[in-house]
Amino acid sequence: MTITKKFDVLTYDQIREKLLSGELTCESIVKRYLEKIKEFERLNAFLSVFEKKAIQRAVEIDEKIKNGYVGKLAGMVIAIKDNICVKDEKCTCASKILENFVSIYNATAVERLLNEDAIVIGKTNLDEFAMGSSTENSYFGPTLNPYDEDRVPGGSSGGSAVAVAAGLSTTALGSDTGGSIRQPAAFCGVYGLKPTYGRVSRFGLVAFASSFDVIGPFGNSTKDVALVLQVIAGRDENDSTSADVPVPDYLSYLDKDVKGLRVGVPVEYFAEGLDDEIREAIEKRLDFLRESGAILEKISLPHTEYNIPTYYILVTAEASSNLARYDGARYGYRSPQAKSLYEMYVKSRSEGFGAEVKRRIMLGTYVLSAGYYEAYYRKAQKVRRLIKEDFDKAFEKVDVIITPTSPTTAFKLGEKTDDPLKMYLSDIYTVSVNLAGVPAINVPAGFDSKGLPIGMQIIGKQFDEGTILKVSDFLEKNFSG
Amino acid sequence: MPVTIKDVEYIANLARLEFKEEEKEKFTEQFNRILEYIDKLNELDTTDVEPLYHVIDLKNVFREDIVKESYPREEILKNAPSRTEFFFKVPKVIQVEKPQKENEDKEQS
């Protein structure tokens, strides 16, 4: 019998009803979360907590509720990954180089949440500049997994995943470049959605790899994730890569059955290297979907083995270019040692960035440098097309693709820090989704014999978040096993 | 061909980074392992494949050329590590520096 820790969590549904009936106030909810944050301080999920501001805002929203007007997310307490800008608050990216940087505007996603009366409670820990899979690469120390504090929460959005899992906030925003929402969601047993590339504005998200990055929500239910996506999705004139595609009513996809749904199961994602307990948990859910009227089909994504090398060439190249802006001139850390302009650049960057960030800037600079551009960068762009075409072909036959989110459950702190390649391979099932720009969600899929959460990934067609939310919601409400 | 410490130094200069000697060694070794893994892509013939720059259909976006308020100067300068009243302040730019020619002429082989 598996013993799993239980955390005291509330979904927004439960809160909203009590708020509108007057049984609860936003102020009492915020105070409750602030207490929880203190109680779980050792997990290091938050880099900053907006105690005063959050209470003040709660009081204002309570007033609005009394006056009969409420936004869609009134009283939803949300934590924001610390690479997403919240006006007049620090945005450190868990880096020494931005330790004292204060945002002068809100990210569009944050602005839209605030417009619907959500309450931002604080900023969460991450791998420096979102580069990592364990939240160990933080200048402010690692975040711990609430299910086993000797283990990592996954990454890079580890703080956001932990905040939601341990009940320190109702929902959270993260960012996903190669799995940074889904993998920590899997390791912490929560829902985490990576939207289609361009579905959510990147304005105010600190750039890592611009053709991959996307902001997305964490929640303790599919509905919470859908509610947040509803508000943050859509075209934004401040982000020219945000898509001008209509945003459907995501709630209309919930409480539906899966009769006739075509589910693709890619053989490459169930091959060697996958933990047996995870395989079993996913297969049980696949069987349940079949029994519920879905049509399962074995498919192939033949370029799967090239995902990781392609991904690491392209993201490091984009990162080396994006991170060139940290030069010590206009904002961020400047080395006190620097006597010339050249030294200001070199010393500020070398003292300000951590090891993994430097490693990626170096790799990216290398693959873009004269003589290697064709062999590495251009080659990887070509393979990216082949990988995307694999998905295009698969989605001609199926509506969703189901895979494990990660080959293992949460690993031990320090287990992979000395071996970057080993760490990179923990993203093996998630990076393809970013390479193809499609949406995917992590759905909690029970626990292994160590009591650690297992995650299942549902991948959809571009801009079809609705269908993956439908499947996630169906399993959440109907599967028990 | 494996990357040497000299290559690592060359790339570090391009990226405006510097490393201690022992870091360079560790780095060179990790770099080579990562590159060896990445070389796997050469198994694929991509002669006739077009590179993929963007995963969604993106069009260039134009806007009307209308003057709009920008962020106030004081806000922008708030995060500056060093400043004057109106400008960012940096170390003296005009000075005699060693020519960078050595690096630019370095042959890739």
Cβ-contact A453, A188 below 8 angstroms: yes
| Residues of A noted as catalytic | 81, 156, 180
Q: Which residues contact A465 (CB under 8 A, 6 or more apart)?
A: A193, A195, A196, A199, A229, A233, A250, A439
Mutate to test the interface with B, among A385, A416, A428, A465 (most CBs of B within 10 A): A385
What pLDDT is stored for residue A70 in this prediction?
Answer: 87
Look at B70 and B106; give whichever has higher pLDDT. B70
Could you read off the pLDDT of A15-25 as tens digits, one per residue?
999 999 999 99
Find tokens 């004081």 and name the residue.
Answer: B74
- Which 2-41 residues of chain B touch chain A by CB within 8 A? 3, 7-8, 11-12, 14-19, 27, 30-31, 33-34, 37-41
Chain B contact set for A306 (CB, 8 A):
40-41, 44
Distance CA A224, CA A245 (A): 22
Tell me if the bond preceding A156 is cis, omega within 30° of 0. yes
Which residue in chain B has the smallest CA separation from A338? Answer: B91
Angle between helices A355-368 and A307-322 (to 10 degrees): 100
> How many Cβ pairs closer than 8 A exist between chain A and B?
157
**Model pLDDT, residue B58:** 82
Distances B100 to A275, A288, B13 between C-alpha atoms, Å: 52, 65, 10
- What is the pLDDT, as a whole number, of residue A69? 82
Banded model confidence at residue B107, pLDDT cuts 50, 70, 90? very low
pLDDT value at residue B104? 46
Band of pLDDT at residue B105, cut at 50, 70 and 90: very low
Determine the average pLDDT of the residues in B99-109: 47
Q: Would you tell me which CATH number, out of the four given (3.40.50.1100, 3.40.50.970, 3.40.190.10, 3.90.1300.10), belongs to the domain A1-481?
A: 3.90.1300.10
Indicate whether B24 pLDDT > 60.
Answer: yes
pLDDT (tens, 9 = 90+) of chain A, 481 residues, equals 456 678 989 999 999 999 999 999 999 999 999 999 999 999 999 999 999 999 999 999 999 999 988 899 999 999 999 999 999 999 999 999 999 999 999 999 999 999 999 999 999 999 999 999 999 999 999 999 999 999 999 999 999 999 999 999 999 999 999 999 999 999 999 999 999 999 999 999 999 999 999 999 999 999 999 999 999 999 999 999 999 999 999 999 999 999 999 999 999 999 989 999 999 999 999 999 999 999 999 999 999 999 999 999 999 999 999 999 999 999 999 999 999 999 999 999 999 999 999 999 999 999 999 889 999 999 999 999 999 999 999 999 999 999 999 999 999 999 999 888 888 888 999 999 999 999 999 999 999 999 999 999 999 999 999 999 999 999 999 998 7
Determine which of A106, A351, A366, A421 to mutate to test the interface with B (most B C-beta atoms within 10 Å): A366
Q: Is B84 on the interface with A (CB under 8 A)?
A: no
Across the interface, do B91 and A105 touch by the CB < 8 Å criterion?
A: no
| pLDDT attached to residue A352 | 98
Smallest Cβ–Cβ distance between A376 and the set B19, B38, B51 belongs to B38
* Sign of the Cα pseudo-torsion (A153, A471, A251, A396, in order): positive
pLDDT recorded at residue B97: 58
Instruction: Write out the H or E segment, with its range, that includes residue B54.
Output: none
Q: Which residues of A touch B108 (CB under 8 A)?
A: 369-372
The interface predicted TM-score of the complex, written ipTM, equals 0.91
The B residues from 58 to 77 touching A (CB cutoff 8 Å) are: 58, 61, 63, 71, 75-76
Q: Do A340 and B17 touch (CB under 8 A)?
A: no
Instruction: Classify residue B52 as exposed, middle or buried by CB count within 10 Å of its CB (0-12, 13-18, 19+).
Output: buried
Query: Which positions 56-75 of A are in contact with B (Cβ < 8 Å)?
Result: none
pLDDT on residue B109: 37
Helices (H), B15-105: 21-38, 73-77, 101-104
Facing residue for B46 by CB, picked from A320, A358, A382: A382
Question: Does A362 contact B82 at a Cβ distance shorter than 8 Å?
Answer: no
Confidence of residue B98 (pLDDT cuts 50, 70, 90): low
pLDDT at B61: 82
Across the interface, do B46 and A330 touch by the CB < 8 Å criterion? no
User: Over chain A, what HEC string results?
Assistant: CCCCCCCCCCCHHHHHHHHHCCCCCHHHHHHHHHHHHHHCHHHCCEEEECHHHHHHHHHHHHHHHHCCCCCCCCCCEEEEECCECCCCCECCCCCHHHCCCECCCCCHHHHHHHHCCCEEEEEECCCHHHCCCCCCCCCCCCCCECCECCECCCCCCHHHHHHHHCCCCCEEEEEECCCCCHHHHHHHCCEEEECCCCCECCCCECCCCCCCCEEEEEECCHHHHHHHHHHHECCCCCCCCCCCCCCCCHHHHCCCCCCCCEEEEEHHHHCCCCCHHHHHHHHHHHHHHHHCCCEEEEECCCCHHHHHHHHHHHHHHHHHHHHHHCCCCCCCCCCCCCCCHHHHHHHHHHHHCCHHHHHHHHHHHHHHCCCCHHHHHHHHHHHHHHHHHHHHHHHHHCCEEEEECCCCCCCECCCCCCCHHHHHHCCCCCHHHHHHCCCEEEEEEEECCCCCEEEEEEEECCCCHHHHHHHHHHHHHHCCC
Domains (range + CATH), chain B: 5-42 (1.10.20)
pLDDT digits (tens, 9 = 90+) for B57-66: 888 888 889 9
Which chain B residues contact residue A320 at CB under 8 A? 15
Instruction: Tell me the nearest-neighbour CA distance from B42 into chain A, angstroms.
Output: 8
Q: Quick one: pLDDT at residue A418?
A: 86
Nearest-angstrom CA–CA distance, B24 and A337? 21
Q: Which residue of A has its CA nearest to B48?
A: A382
Of B41, B56, B71, the CB nearest to A197: B56
**Interchain contact A353–B (C-beta under 8 A):** yes
The predicted structure's pLDDT at residue B62: 84
Between β-strands A262-266 and A214-219, what pairing exists: parallel, antiparallel or unpaired?
unpaired
Tell me the nearest-neighbour CA distance from B92 into chain A, angstroms: 6
> Which is more confident, B3 or A80?
A80
